[in-house]
Amino acid sequence: MHARVLANHQRLLGTDLRSSGARRVGGAALALLVHLVTVLLIVAAAWIWTTAAFPVAKAIATVLLLIVAAEVRPRLGRIPRGDNVLNRDSAPASFAVLDEVARATGSRTPDVLVVSPDFNAAMGRAGLRGKQVLTIGLPLWEALDDRQRLAALGHECGHEVNGDVRSTVLVGTAIQSLHRWAWLLLPDTRASRRRPGVNAGGAMSSIFLIAEYLVPLVLLPISVTIGLLAVGLERIAGRSGQRAEYRADELAAITAGTDAALSMLDQFFGAEHCMHAMSVALRSDRDADVWAVERRFMHSVTPTQRERWRRLASRDQHRTDASHPPTLLRQEMLRSRVRVSGTLDVVPDQLAAMTAELAAFEPMMAQQLRDTAG
């Protein structure tokens, strides 16, 4: 996998990172076929119900088709609810900053802002209308300076306009549906504990036993084929996703500057160590101020230690998560572009106000980290 990622990285160096649209069209066409099968299941159930077939058989067939359709239906996700969810009314300063970032990236302002206890940030969609949900990990936010925060926001907002096939409702739900199909058709191959009898019921028992061994031979190839289709669609989305992540980094640099984007990515090399330090502090003292611990830890990191983390990242192919290219490759891609100073210049007071709104969740996030640390 890393060899494919590296080859794709070399191919993308020096090219226009904006999506060409070919993979987007191919992925959308395959996704439409997947969802068309679900629609046909519902149509077939309605048609069977209107026929003059035997009522019991008709009812059983209709119910079975509707159950399968419900199982493989597109799952759009729910819009987050809870005390850690912010909107424009509850966090005006945060959304004012997000408006500025959206203008710089040419994207739409997120509809919902979620605060999490993770050293990460993410953008997703939820609901029938595909509302944009931005998740900001408070540990990450606390570890960044103002320019790095703008770069992180620029990267996440850039996901709406970077041509990422994975972020579309159509393709994302189709991949889920294919996996549900593969799971649904995967037979239980465990041998039955029943044994054929020697009485009058013995013949019927033998028929069921033979069927129990024959059904997997029919269903298993179908399940494997559908699973391979899911992998193929994920591969199409993944190749598009790698280009899209690089494009989001490019938009982060356009927003806050190349240096800010590079240093923002640098902070992820110490994410695991930072979270470990916070966890250790909480295990030794459940009332510890984890945010003060994080600030002390990040300020104590020397240039030598950061270089050590970079070399470890190179050896271990560090990435923020499985959907991203290795972090060092992302930095190499940024360095291969013309350095920019950033088009966005947010007033420090605006970012301070946003930080204050997010800092209001420090006790809640600390409690979640405390529960995780045990």
Q: If pLDDT is split at 50, 70 and 90, which confidence band does 200 have?
A: very low
Reported confidence tier of residue 2, pLDDT bands at 50, 70, 90: confident
DSSP string for 151-205: HHHHHHHGGGTS--GGGSHHHHHHHHHHHHHHHHH----PPPS----SSTTHHHH
Q: What is the pLDDT of residues 126-179, one digit of tens each?
A: 877 778 899 999 999 999 999 999 999 999 999 888 877 666 777 778 888 888
Tell me the pLDDT of the chain averaged across its residues: 84
- Share above pLDDT 90 across residues of the chain, in percent, rounded to a whole number: 44
Give the pLDDT confidence score for residue 210 in this predicted structure: 64
More confident residue, 211 or 173: 173
- Domain boundaries of the chain, sorted by first residue: 85-166+244-373
What is the average per-residue pLDDT within 199-209?
A: 58
Position 56 scores a pLDDT of: 86
Q: In the structure, what pLDDT confidence band is assigned to residue 196 with cuts at 50, 70 and 90? A: very low
DSSP state of 268: G
> 51 pLDDT exceeds 90?
no
> pTM of the full predicted structure?
0.80
The residue among 366 and 221 whose pLDDT is bigger is 366
- pLDDT reading at 65 higher than 70: yes
Write out pLDDT tens, residues 22-48. Answer: 666 777 788 888 888 889 889 999 998
Could you please report the per-residue DSSP string of 87-152? -TTT-HHHHHHHHHHHHHHT-PPPSEEEEESSS-EEEEEETTTTEEEEEEEHHHHHHS-HHHHHHH
Mean pLDDT of 285-299: 92
Residue 345: is its pLDDT beyond 90? no
